[in-house]
Amino acid sequence: MLPAHIALLGGLNPAWVAVGILLVTYAVIMSEKINRAVVALIGAIVMIGSGILSQEEAIAGIDFNTVGLLAGMMIIVAVARRSGVFEYLAIWTAQVARGHPAGILVLLSLITAVLSSLLDNVTTVLLIVPVSLVICSQLKVPPYPFLLSQVLASNIGGTATMIGDPPNIIISAQVGLSFNAFVTNLAPVIVVILACHTLAMHLFWGRHLRSTAEARAHIMAMDARRAITDRALLIKSLSVLALVLVSFSFAHQIGMESGAIGLGGAALLLLLDNLGRSAEKQTEHVTEVFNEVEWITLFFFMGLFVVVKGVEHTGVLDMLAQKLVAATGGQLEPTGLGILWSSALLSSALDNIPFVATMIPMIKAMGPAFGGAEGLDPLWWALSLGACLGGNGTLVGASANLTVAGIAERNGVSFRFLTYTKHALPMMLVQIAICHGYWLWRYC
């Protein structure tokens, strides 16, 4: 039943209006005729103006952890960049691969996946993408294949652990599954998917990448250590980053969420970077840092969160979850596979956070049919795999996707919605098909 307090002019069904706003918003975003942040903000305002959400409800629908974490890590990366650390990493990575673009593509994908399993995937792409852009500039090769591969690898790696992707964090917090449980149940299939991803990227892109012998020789002749231009700032940046990562690991014990930790780390690094400077110089440096923040991405997320919150508020997501449970008849195999595929397809089009939050109580309610809470474990893994990997399907499916798109656009690299979807959606479907087989083998 839809919330009784929702009132719309003309007596229109709030569910249809909310879904209509969502579909129009996505259609305009996909057309790429208007900046996506503008579209999302207009969609959010229409959701409020139609009466589906009050302003307070809309603000509450914005996930502060996502926005705060993004903003905080963007600031940390912007400050750290001035030390030359990314140029150092770029030269080191290229030299390990002997300057060959195909090898660099594989190496950066693997690094991205591993880091995304230990950090959150947004932080990882914020660290790796600048490295990729520097390498591509030096070797004079197109950066799009590198960025595409890293987006997919970040979501793949983030699926392997409890802390790598927001859906896993939500499932862990509300269900009580341990870090080791995530690794034991998800990491094996993620290793297989990562290997398939790496092979696919090499076949589709890597083997066709070419660089001149002069460019490779130039790379191999570089001294990576000379790229570090400010060692004091490097030490400060790495120290704050380490503190932030440790704080993520002990967030529950210290009573802080990831958004506050990210912003706190950004504020601390800004403080350390500006100590001893005059007030005028401090303002100049802070302004330079803030100018590097991906404001388009942040405001796009804010608007999108409100639009999705409006759909959730009308009960549409809850209704879909209930219909899924009813359609499977309480049987493990069809229920698990239904959750896997529906989570993947919906998470590729909607933000996976509200979907996961809606599915959790629905799955919990099925406990008696599966012999209690322990019998539900296979369903949690199906939900995690579907929601996390489904984010690879479209540009709006996951935070890391949009973060990379924002950085790419700021650096003059085309990263279009339809182009990304054309390349990524088929690969996502293959990944879910692999999970389909793994889930049947492991739990049925």
Residue 369, amino acid = A
Which pLDDT score, from 0 to 100, does residue 219 have? 81
Which pLDDT score, from 0 to 100, does residue 438 have? 97
Which pLDDT score, from 0 to 100, does residue 1 have? 44
What confidence category does residue 10 fall into, taking pLDDT thresholds of 50, 70 and 90? Answer: low
| 420 vs 85 pLDDT, higher one | 420
Contact status, residue 165 vs residue 159, Cβ threshold 8 Å = yes
Which pLDDT score, from 0 to 100, does residue 42 have? 97
For residue 3, give the nearest of 365, 352, 311 by alpha carbon. 311
Contact status, residue 98 vs residue 151, Cβ threshold 8 Å = no
Mean pLDDT of the chain: 86
| pLDDT tens, position by position, 401-416 | 888 988 898 888 888 8
Q: Which residues, including other chains, have CB under 8 Å from residue 394's CB and lie 6 or more apart?
A: 348, 349, 401, 417, 420, 421, 424, 425
| pLDDT tens, position by position, 303-319 | 988 988 888 888 887 77
Check residue 120 and give left, alpha or beta (phi > 0: left; psi -120 to 50: alpha).
Answer: beta
Contact status, residue 134 vs residue 100, Cβ threshold 8 Å = no
Which pLDDT score, from 0 to 100, does residue 2 have? 46
Which range is least confidently modeled, 99-113, 185-199, 291-305, 351-365?
351-365
CA–CA separation, 47 vs 53, rounded Å? 6
* Residues of the chain above pLDDT 90, percent: 36
Which pLDDT score, from 0 to 100, does residue 271 have? 95
Q: 68-72, 79-83, 122-126, 382-386 — which one is most confidently predicted on average? A: 382-386
Could you tell me the two tokens for 150?
């890293």
What confidence category does residue 432 fall into, taking pLDDT thresholds of 50, 70 and 90? Answer: very high
CA–CA separation, 320 vs 324, rounded Å? 6
Is pLDDT at 196 greater than 90 in this prediction?
A: yes
Contact status, residue 39 vs residue 20, Cβ threshold 8 Å = no
Which pLDDT score, from 0 to 100, does residue 11 have? 67
Q: How far is CA 217 from CA 91, 94, 132, 221, 222, in A?
A: 12, 11, 18, 6, 9
Among the residues of 62-178, which ranges form H helices?
64-81, 85-96, 101-118, 121-139, 144-158, 166-175
Q: Which residues, including other chains, have CB under 8 Å from residue 324's CB and lie 6 or more apart?
A: 338, 339, 342, 362
What is the DSSP secondary structure assignment for residue 293, as one 8-state letter? S
Could you tell me the two tokens for 226?
């000379």
**Angle, to 10 degrees, between the axis of helix 179-204 and the axis of helix 377-390?**
40
Could you tell me the two tokens for 266?
């950004």
pTM for this predicted structure: 0.75
Which pLDDT score, from 0 to 100, does residue 63 have? 80
Contact status, residue 80 vs residue 340, Cβ threshold 8 Å = no
| pLDDT tens, position by position, 146-185 | 999 999 999 999 999 887 787 887 788 778 787 788 889 9
What confidence category does residue 4 fall into, taking pLDDT thresholds of 50, 70 and 90? Answer: very low
